[in-house]
Amino acid sequence: MKARPGPTTRVRIRELSGASATDRRDDLATEEPLEIRLAAPDGTRRTVAITMRTPGHDFELAAGFLHGEGLAGPERIAAIAYCTDEDVPPEARYNTVTVRLHGPIPDLPVLERHFLTSSACGVCGSASLDVLRDRCRPVPGGSLKLTPGLLYGLPDTLRAAQGVFGKTGGLHAAGLFSASGTPVAVREDVGRHNAVDKLVGWAALTGRLPLAEHVLMVSGRTSYEIMQKALAAGVPAVCAVSAPSSLAVDVAREFGMTLVGFLRGERCNVYAGQERIVME
């Protein structure tokens, strides 16, 4: 059987500097496919997603993806394991996860096609705002209040927790923070949406949902997929070091979420939910 893939892969490279060349080893962020399968007690099995991801926290990734897409919440998950079905070759078993459900596989229109996801774009053809309105309620107001000083400290704290990024320079990160700015959990992946799924899956599998009174901080930009996953997990505030998309802003404003972008140094833009920001 193929060895279990790790988050980094070592390769030989030639480094050029000025007029000199040096051969050395370099660490790359591993990118491999992960197939997510659902299994019912009656033996029915179905593939619902194939995503390119960085190996590690695969069970969390599967649980977070299912929760975010409204396919299976933590109460419906009986067990998660790497797949040993006969149709899976030994070399692919660490790239295939089976989620066993309590009860039948949900008969939803979304399951009439497979999700094909990539590290760059998230779920292709993902649910529109109309479908999101049917599945999710606005985030409650709650008592979460964020000061500019707390916000300014999030990017450096997230970066300090990125162990694999420190080796490769090629991974996105998602961090969950408490209302006081304390890091609760951090996950890394070649895909922004995968990193968020791993965080949500961690919360789902440990009984922490919904994530009210928490802040989600992501590297890179904020897309519709990230806001969708945060909303499904009950996260009231999302921050990013880069820009949001127009649809991400639409989601935040319609569902009562705080959305902060271009969070760099001591500046940022607040696109929605300004009422949670308290000036010092």
**Catalytic positions, written as ranges:** 121
Residue 265 contacts by C-beta under 8 Å, 6 or more apart in sequence? 152
User: For tokens 């921050």, what's the residue?
Assistant: 239
Residues 253 and 276: their CA atoms lie apart, in Å, by 13
CB-side neighbour CA atoms (13 Å) of 266: 1
Q: What's the sign of the alpha-carbon dihedral 81, 87, 90, 94?
A: negative
Given a contact cutoff of 8 angstroms between Cβ atoms, the answer to whether 244 and 266 are in contact is no
Question: Which residue, chain included where needed, has tokens 């096609």?
Answer: 113
Binding region: 262-267
Residue 119 Cα to chain centre, angstroms: 11
| Helices of type H across the chain | 58-68, 129-135, 148-160, 163-168, 192-205, 224-232, 246-254
Q: What share of the chain is helix, strand, coil (3-state, %, to 5)?
A: 30, 35, 35
What's at 237, amino acid-wise?
A
> Quick check: helix, strand or coil at residue 136?
coil
Q: Which two tokens stand for residue 112?
A: 């009439």
Residue bearing tokens 């979460």: 144
